Chains A and B, each alone.
Chain A
Amino acid sequence: MEQAPQSKPILELRGIGKQYRSKGRLGKGGGQTVVALSEVSLEFRAGEIFGLVGESGSGKTTCGRLIVGLEKADQGELLLEGRSYGTLKGESLRAYRRQVQIIFQDPYQSLNPQLSILDSVAEPLVTNRVGDNKARLEKVLATLKAVGLSPPEDYAFRFPHQLSGGQRQRVAIARAMILGPKVLVADEPTSMLDASYSAQIFDILLEVRQRLATTIILITHSLAAARYLCDRIAVIYRGRLMETGPADAVISDPRHPYTQALIDATPKFGDCGPIKRYGTLVSPERPASGSAGCAFFRRCGLAHLGRCARQAPELTPLTLGHLVACHYTQEAPAPETGQACRLGGMG
């Protein structure tokens, strides 16, 4: 996989924070603040595929929604090509969204069941007043063809329920790409699809990047997918960045105990190299440390009861572009090496 050209960041997040007020019923549980994102700073370079990896509830989806302006950040700012889009509203929001688009997780939900494929895909053109009807139709057909729905005439006049999941997700990509955005957020684009379809979607994303030099921000829970697609990745846990760096570096040499735990847990199918097991999880979980400490404190097997409970670690560079937020990165134990090939675990 060729390395993406090093260039100025096209999109930048600076100290983004976001809290939700939890909606409880009257009385219990209401009104508590839940931190979705805390002090997240990231740079996305033009033409790269950037992976945002984390478990459900880690804030990765919130991050994606913030990037396309579906949510407003409570703190921090968002820069597109150096220009700050602090308060996205009206025309500026529209202009911004011409550059930044998104594909959602569930292709069964992200297309309006009452609109034909043509109408759905053409919508960005209509709202941005691009071209006349005829030009739009042509553009839609061309885009459908580009995402592998061919012949496009067969698909344009159907309704979403007449398509399979994979086909729908392609339609969603077509809709996102039709305005030729600079940045595309792909929020778990394959988690609802069967493996054979997800490979198709991955391929389309790669092709899009190749052809249009679009920056793709891939939000995923799968390290394997991230490794396959991404140039760089960031691991996020409970709204905080744990580790970020080149995909290969992070996955083959994870330095954060959480990343290590993730890699431990991921099934290592087809991986016939030596298997390392880090064993960084602690069981049972510790009691919470309060809001001040490290986010991973409760589950971290390496944590110092003193320091980690009280102070959240900063992201610190280890090598060029590989940053880790842990107090004890240097003290990480060497992984134990397992059997040669993890196939049929029960051996």
Chain B
Amino acid sequence: MTALLGVMLLALSPPAAQAVEWDQNILKIGVLEEPKSLNLWLAGDAWSNHVLQLFYQQLYVNRPGDLKKVPWLATGDPQYDPQTLSYTVDLRPARWSDGSPFTAHDVVFTGQLIQKFKVPRFYSLWSFVKSIEAVGDHQVRFVLNRPDASFTARTLATPLVQKTQWEPIVKQCLATKKPLASLLRVSLDHPASSGPFVLKSWRRGVFLHLERNPHFFGQGLSLDGRPLGPHIEGIVFKVYGTSDAAILALRKGSIDFYWNNVQPGYLRDIAGDPAIQVFRNQKSALYFMGFNLRRPPFDDLALRRAVAMLVDKRFIVTRVLQNAGEVMSALVPAGNAFYHLDQVAPYDQELTRGQRVQKAYEILTEAGYTWKTRPMDHAGRVQTCSCLLRPDGSEVPPLTILTPPADYDPQRAMSGMMIQEWLGQVGIMAAARPMAFGAMLEKVKGHHDYDAFVLGYGNLSLDPAWVSAFFVSKNAGKSGWNMSGYHDPQFDALAEKAAKTLDPEQRRDLVLQMQRMVQRDVPFLPLYNPLLVEAARNDRFQGWVPMVGGIGNLWSLCQLRPSGAPAAEVR
């Protein structure tokens, strides 16, 4: 007993003196989870990307605002030679964190590594690159197999690794039986960084300590009108594990920024605190309901449209998302303004529940559907109905809506539940069925054995190549991206054209056309695009840069400076 008391007393006395100097000018960021790995080739999760994007830099990056690609490690736009199908990129004289120069050989090495190992998540961007060569130390030439719009948009945004660090590792991996597996299992203690920060120490599960990279090219540089720093000495990523702990830490000032979405419930708690600023930014995300067009009942366009009419996206956004989101009418989210289709689909007008049922009823009646008891009485009032009958007189069988489980995404699971209720209003017996993510993908992508599902992509690339990938006929096979089995020759033609079109304006036009087709045929019903709500303290640091994807971005961390420090000061 006394032992217990002793421990409690010991523990109750607050730990060591508070006045410490070490964290002067060090930004403290709260994260929910630690990076899974600092091996660029393995890490696919958001938490790893938070850190890795500060180490491995790209040739071009999107700038805040219009999201246009601007040169980063490159200087000037890539030079395209249509004759040879080649791009030439000039490099900035930059240095790695160990002081060695960043050269064209690093770029070549990275590209070849991806091609050699077929590194997942990168290879598809490099598979159409025929050759990569260094023209001198500061110029790279890429030769393509075919013109592809995603080259400039995505391939050139590949993070680049240091050749001297990775070359021996690659050699070792190639010598093993399973080179890719070996590559993914490499763990680097000190990844060489060409970015603003470099790893100092990492205590797994607790914190990562990053310090300013003295060799970062951006120091003192003003890029796109933005004075780059970094103006802070370092960053500590603190792992909290639960959002309640992180929010509490933010309130107490133990962290300056919580790099994650703030759940609506906490907003009221932090709203009254003048030291905390809340940012709302759009995401490049798509949350949608998908239909199986390969089999009844959703092979029928009228039924899909009726369902689209019944789904009250506004309700989902205000209630389920607590207003932290926007209704989505077309595939490309509004944040990605360039490719966004600004045209509201007929079912996305503001309608009351009754009106929605009424309209769905009309659509179905027109298509020849009947009921045992109709959903509207003769006076046009909604009534409980039963048993939707197809034009051929057969019953629409009970169907299931697959959703991710609540632990993975409670909002989608909840949306599924609501949709189930709404469909019931016109006599469609639907049951939302939450399913482990893998199992659900297996059913949807692997076996095409489903009626409808609710899914989402939280971090879509800004280049809309995926719009075509989701619906072209050639992707409709097993495990292909065309999950709903949409098939339209006109769409296929548009998609093919778009892939080869390098002119942005023309390409945009094609992408918008494709989106219109999807709006018309409803293979997917876009539901909502959540807003990213983030909170940061303004008492120690200022200068957050809002952009799509939130304030936690490379620009912010390069520009952030201690409160009170003159903005013009350039080191």
In the complex, A touching B (Cβ < 8 A): no
B→A interface (CB under 8 Å): none
List chain A positions with a Cβ less than 8 A from chain B.
Answer: none
